[in-house]
Amino acid sequence: MSSSLTPRRTVLLAAAAALAGVPGCGASREALLDDASADHLGQPGVVDGQPSSVILAGFDLIEGAQERAAFGKALSIFRSGQTSGVETTIAAGSTLFRKLGVGDPDGMQRLPGFPGERIDHRSSDGDVIIQVCAGGIDPCRRLVDQYVKESSRILKCRWRQSGFLPAHSEGETPRNLFRFKDGTENPVRSEFPKWVWDDRGGTFLVYRKIHMDVDRFLSLPTDRQENIIGRHRRSGAPLGSEEEKDLVDLFAKTSSGRYVIPVDSHVRLAHSRSDRGARMLRRGYSYDAGGGDQGLLFIAFMRDPALFVRVQQRLAGADAMNEFIEHRASAVGYVLPVAVLERFRNGDFGD
Ligand code: HEM
């Protein structure tokens, strides 16, 4: 966190620190980094095992509602749904902080436009964004229906989107609709405090609904598909390697002097080497709305959404996959630390 916090921002962060049992705003980082389980300060649905179904939804505070009271009530409704087997993750959009008169966390931003996207703004953004995950879609639906109903006097549901993971065995990386393993190169638990959680157990959620032209991609010869991704389809190994978890060697060349992992491949362009090692935790789902409208719900958690912007700028400019995908919806939210959620829920906004 920056040292030049605005007074309002200082209030938000000091509140989180106090409730988390942390001595003060600047003091705790090392302590938390020592404790690889900084996870306990954060909400569910971020670093836990990924259940097979999801519903994401964006809400706006209804105009005329007393904002702080309304948001506190909404939090109570969403928190009451935390039952075993269904996890709800609550994120605050950039517009919410202004409405509440509370300083926003460092890094909060609306994403810029990217070349080639066709964003439907009605199914994007929101004052509040929630992610509801469970082992099946029915419990997610029931809970989201309940949230929408119970909050109908204070929140308007802007959009909702369901997603799924294809069947896969425990410990195996799930495949996306292009049939490639997706999620291999993710930070591991000991790295979460560095790349996912901020010092207080908050993180940013970046959501993109990405349409995929599955039939056209799958009609390509396998080696062409693999060159687009930069990995082998069957094993998930980086091109030129054998095992899924082998290191991505961006320098390896063929005997004819070309890069083994092509310059326009997805993996090369997205690789953390171009971001001084900075990583995001991808926890995506597939969606299928019928009639050929299918693709990826890209969901990723990171300390700073500027990382997403940098990666997406590189991808939008040169990724060989662009011919087969289109970004159609988008949202960014700050996944509030549990301590801040509880304070806001109790009507304590720090002033
Ligand atoms: C439909 C769209 C997309 C598809 C089908 C897709 C698929 C994949 C696949 C198959 C991999 C390799 C396996 C893995 O490491 O997980 C991968 C890696 C990755 N993707 Fe995507 N992806 C998509 C969009 C995005 C977007 C929008 C971003 C971020 C802006 C992104 C960021 C990454 C990153 C950071 C990696 C790891 C690269 C590395 O360090 O090796 N992807 N993706």
How crowded is residue 271: how many other Cβ atoms within 10 Å of its Cβ?
Answer: 19
Mean pLDDT of the chain: 90
pLDDT at 39: 64
3-state helix, strand and coil shares in percent for the chain, rounded to the nearest 5 = 35, 20, 45
Q: Please state the atom number of ligand 1 nearest to the C-alpha of residue 180.
A: 10
- Alpha-carbon Rg for the chain in angstroms: 20
What's the gap in Å between 346 CA and the centre of ligand 1? 39
Angle (nearest 5°) at CA 53 between 213 and 209: 35
pLDDT at 64: 81
Indicate if ligand 1 lies below 6 Å from the C-beta of 311: yes
Domain borders along the chain are: 7-345
In angstroms, the CA 163 to CA 161 distance is: 7
Distance of CA 164 to the CA centre of its chain: 15
What's the gap in Å between 255 CA and the centre of ligand 1? 27
* H or E stretch covering 130: strand 128-134
In angstroms, the CA 48 to CA 8 distance is: 31
Q: What are phi and psi of 205, to 5 degrees?
A: -100, 125
Q: Which residue has the tokens 């609709």?
A: 177
State the distance between the two ends of the chain, measured CA to CA, in whole angstroms: 21
List the chain pLDDT tens, one digit each, 351 residues. 332 223 334 445 444 444 443 333 333 434 333 444 556 789 999 999 999 999 999 999 998 879 999 999 999 999 998 888 999 999 999 999 999 999 999 999 999 999 999 999 999 999 999 999 999 999 999 999 999 999 999 999 999 999 999 989 988 999 999 999 999 999 999 999 999 999 999 999 999 999 999 999 999 999 999 999 999 999 999 999 999 999 999 999 999 999 999 999 999 999 999 999 999 999 999 999 999 999 999 999 999 999 999 999 999 999 999 999 999 999 999 999 999 999 999 999 887
The crossing angle, in degrees rounded to 10, of helices 338-345 and 67-80 is 120
What's the gap in Å between 279 CA and the centre of ligand 1? 12
What's the gap in Å between 26 CA and the centre of ligand 1? 34
Indicate if ligand 1 lies below 6 Å from the C-beta of 294: no
What's the gap in Å between 311 CA and the centre of ligand 1? 10
pLDDT at 1: 34
Q: Please state the atom number of ligand 1 nearest to the C-alpha of residue 176.
A: 5
- Which residue has its alpha carbon closest to ligand 1 atom 36? 270
CB of 92 within 8 A of CB of 336? yes
Indicate if ligand 1 lies below 6 Å from the C-beta of 298: yes
- Which residue has its alpha carbon closest to ligand 1 atom 7? 182
Question: Residue 127: beta bridge partners?
Answer: none
Spell out the residues 6+ positions from residue 312 whose beta carbon is closer than 8 angstroms to its own: 111, 114
Question: Residue 259: beta bridge partners?
Answer: 253
What's the gap in Å between 172 CA and the centre of ligand 1? 17
Q: Please state the atom number of ligand 1 nearest to the C-alpha of residue 177.
A: 5
Indicate if ligand 1 lies below 6 Å from the C-beta of 269: no
In angstroms, the CA 13 to CA 25 distance is: 7
SS3 call for 15: helix
SS3 call for 294: strand
CB of 182 within 8 A of CB of 210? no
- DSSP for 24-87, please give it: -TTT-HHHHHHSTTGGGGS-SSSSS---SEEEEEEEEEPTTS-HHHHHHHHHHHHHHT-BTTEE
What's the gap in Å between 193 CA and the centre of ligand 1? 21
pLDDT at 170: 87
- Which residue has its alpha carbon closest to ligand 1 atom 18? 267
